[in-house]
Structure 1
Amino acid sequence: MKPVDDYLPFRTATVLDSLAKLPAMPVAAASVIRLLNRGEGDAAGLAAAVACDPVLAARVLQVANSSFYGLARRIRTIQDAVVVLGQKALRNMVLAMAIKGMHSHFGAVEKKLWEEAIGHACAARLVARRCGVCDAEEAFLAGLVCSIGELVCNNQAPDKYLQVLDQQQQQRLSRDALAPAQFDFSFSQIGASVLYHWKLAPEIVLATLFSCQPDLPADLEPTATALAHTVFFARCLCCHLALGNYHSPCQELQQALQRSQLPLPADELQDFVASLAEQLRESTGALANA
């Protein structure tokens, strides 16, 4: 794959400089990702990394034992979670709990932002499983972090972020399109820059960058293209279902499916959305309360 910088229509340093305070990845999550990237992700080492943050460890165990995973036996230790769930699932769970903890305050807007993040993640995983175009756990991670730019901007300037939400309701435009007037850059550009700084995989960075529009560069690697299209459609599904701070769809769902180029037959879309809505109610409920 070409360097991520080649696909970014801006300098990440410029975006990061525009932020009053650059968010750091939580220590436990950073340790888990570092171990996995180095190929050193044995169960004991990963469990030790998570255990460094007792609050995070407790939340991970809570989610591992929730209906979200529906495991036959109770998970009593982080090491059990690593063995039973697998490394990717643990990584995603740790990041989900860490991201929830990054909110500087947690009122109604923040709760809905968190519900959206979990919704994006769960929808992306379901789309990936149904369409078979990318790894389901990678899709979950990409969906989970695709709105990190909104979290960052809301932390730094909640009044400005509320203005974007108000304008979204009035103008029926996407928040991403409205963000530059308040924050100089779109939320997807800010999010991609933060994830690039955090050294997440290039495919995850690009899926965030293109999460609000599926018109991708022709030379983008097929794996990255499939992941970006999956996240884009997952966001459209959550918008269609009015999850979190979403109020009305920014585009018709059939059109979004066509633009995403995913192999989901149009005549199956209605049944798929109904099934997704039911699964999201169960999944987001389990994760949102963790």
Structure 2
Amino acid sequence: MSVDPQLRTLEIDIPAQPDSLVKLSLLLADDEVNQQAVAALVQADMALAAAVMKAVNSSLYGLAGRVQSVQQAVTYLGTREIAGITFEMGLRAAFPPAPELQPIWQRAALRGHLMGRLAQALGVDAWAAHSAGLFEECGKAVLFRHAPDHYRAMLRATATDGDLTQLEHVGFGVSHDALGAALCESWGLDPAAVASVRHHVVAQGLLELPDAPTRRSALALSVIVQALMTVPASIDDVVPIIAAQADLDPTLVLRATRRLAEQQAEAQAHGRRAA
């Protein structure tokens, strides 16, 4: 998918989707995803297979025993989680390593995992939610690659993404949420994920979902998971406000969010004991 011509005039390059993700996207597009085909794709790439094994045995999932093979990993986690790990690795590989980007990738992995799990519990599109969370801050990596020194100073000078987007507009003529949405579009992500990435800064800052996106559940989950990751005690206040705007049952969403927080605490406890 092509990049918005207005963004091209800014001379800020958006990386192309890696071949492994193109192949995985084709597999995921099938209504009946073949787990063996997904496992074979992962196993064919040594670096990807290593990343999957490292992730599945981390505290993020909190499995009772160690997983020994990619096929086991696919069986335990399912294709969505494996796809999330694969896309996370592809996203990381598209940008040069830098200490400033590590917190972004760490938050991305956790956010994607939590949004996918919450979406699954609520019966909404789990892969759209997972990928939206994973790519939410990718526009920051695009700007960092474009102007490392300038953008490093911006990251240090701001405490919130709302403040950061204002500086980005002044310095580059575009903000990371717009760039992130453009990358999502060019990589063929679901429109709901693209909309979530494009609007997340405003939605999280104001606790208001825009009227434009017709499928707002991914964006709603972005706001809820952001609260869960930063100020867990605020979810009782945030969930009723946001869920209603996305036509989700506030009671069911709050119950699922609380359960997700409990599961995450249990997973981290398992990880600590295993270590």
Q: In the alignment, what sits opposite 1:162?
A: 152
Say which SS state the counterpart of residue 174 (structure 2) adopts: coil
Would the alpha carbon gap of residues 282 and 151 (structure 1) be closer, same or farther in structure 2, given more than 3 Å must change?
farther
1:49-74 CA distance string (max 9 Å, x none): 22332111111012123333334554
Contact 2:168 2:176 (8 Å CA) reproduced: yes
Q: In the alignment, what sits opposite 2:265?
A: 279
Q: In the alignment, what sits opposite 2:213?
A: 220
Instruction: Pick the aligned partner of 1:23 from 6, 15, 19.
Output: 15
Instruction: Pick the aligned partner of 1:36 from 28, 35, 44.
Output: 28
**Following TM superposition, by how much is the alpha carbon of 1:39 offset from its aligned partner in structure 2, in angstroms?**
4.7
Aligned length: 259
1:173-225 CA distance string (max 9 Å, x none): 4423332112211211111111101111111111111111234453633xx21
**In structure 2, what is the Cα distance between the partners aligned to 1:172 and 1:35?**
35
Would the alpha carbon gap of residues 89 and 197 (structure 1) be closer, same or farther in structure 2, given more than 3 Å must change?
same
**Following TM superposition, by how much is the alpha carbon of 1:103 offset from its aligned partner in structure 2, in angstroms?**
3.2
Would the alpha carbon gap of residues 67 and 217 (structure 1) be closer, same or farther in structure 2, given more than 3 Å must change?
closer
**In structure 1, what is the Cα distance between the partners aligned to 2:11 and 2:236?**
37
Instruction: Pick the aligned partner of 1:238 from 226, 229, 232.
Output: 229
Q: Does 1:124 align with 2:110?
A: no
**In structure 1, what is the Cα distance between the partners aligned to 2:74 and 2:224?**
30
Contact 1:192 1:205 (8 Å CA) reproduced: yes
**Following TM superposition, by how much is the alpha carbon of 1:259 offset from its aligned partner in structure 2, in angstroms?**
4.8
Q: Does 1:92 align with 2:84?
A: yes
**Following TM superposition, by how much is the alpha carbon of 1:153 offset from its aligned partner in structure 2, in angstroms?**
1.1
1:73-123 CA distance string (max 9 Å, x none): 54333233223322212111211222233330231x122112221242244
**Following TM superposition, by how much is the alpha carbon of 1:275 offset from its aligned partner in structure 2, in angstroms?**
4.2
Q: In the alignment, what sits opposite 2:45?
A: 53
**In structure 2, what is the Cα distance between the partners aligned to 1:255 and 1:67?**
28
Residue type at the aligned position of 1:192 = A
Contact 1:122 1:140 (8 Å CA) reproduced: yes
Greater shift, 192-201 or 81-90, is seen at: 81-90
Extract unaligned runs of 5+ from structure 2.
none
Contact 2:27 2:38 (8 Å CA) reproduced: yes
**In structure 2, what is the Cα distance between the partners aligned to 1:43 and 1:186?**
38
Residue type at the aligned position of 1:193 = A
Contact 2:24 2:83 (8 Å CA) reproduced: yes
Residue type at the aligned position of 2:154 = V
Question: % of aligned pairs identical?
Answer: 22
Contact 1:120 1:144 (8 Å CA) reproduced: yes
**In structure 2, what is the Cα distance between the partners aligned to 1:276 and 1:157?**
40
Contact 1:206 1:228 (8 Å CA) reproduced: yes
What are the equivalent positions in structure 2 for 1:43-82 lying under 5 Å apart?
43-72=35-64, 74-82=66-74
Extract unaligned runs of 5+ from structure 1.
6-10, 242-251
**Following TM superposition, by how much is the alpha carbon of 1:25 offset from its aligned partner in structure 2, in angstroms?**
2.1
